[in-house]
Amino acid sequence: MIGRILLVLVIAFAVGLYFPESRAVIAEYASPVIDPYLSMSTEEEMKDIMDEVKTYQRENFERLPDERNFDEWVEARFSGEGSLDSWGRPYEYQVDRGQIHLISWGPDGERGTDDDIRVTRPVRAGGG
């Protein structure tokens, strides 16, 4: 079954390359299959980034990366486009009320919808 899905996706990708006007249609039909995998991949990457944030905090006298240049901070530590989610949008990094939040607005790119992906850790190791 997975082999057939992959074959269909490869063919759709080839058609999208050859007929650029078909890309939007292909993306629309493929998204229910692809988005769950992209969501899982994004969440795992976000957990890795958050682990790096906590390591940085331990190694830098409890300082956290600056929110204003977080994208550059991530790019310096992760290869490729580490500061972008699976849909090519930057992660949102927030520190407030004793919590560190890393957010992807998910496949639809809209804030506050059910497909948002959020990884949260306490600022302090003990939780507060």
Domain extent listing, the chain: 35-122
Give the pTM: 0.76
Tokens of 4: 């057939």
pLDDT, average across residues 21-48: 82
Contact 116, 106 (CB under 8 A): yes
What gap in Å lies between CA 84 and CA 103, rounded to an integer?
Answer: 11
For residues 42, 46, 49, 50, the Cα torsion angle rounded to the nearest 10 degrees is -170
* Band of pLDDT at residue 126, cut at 50, 70 and 90: low
Predicted confidence (pLDDT) at residue 88 exceeds the cutoff of 70: yes
What is the band of 81 on the pLDDT scale with cuts at 50, 70, 90?
Answer: confident
Superfamily of domain 35-122: Glycoprotein, Type 4 Pilin (3.30.700.10)
Average pLDDT, integer, range 19-42: 78
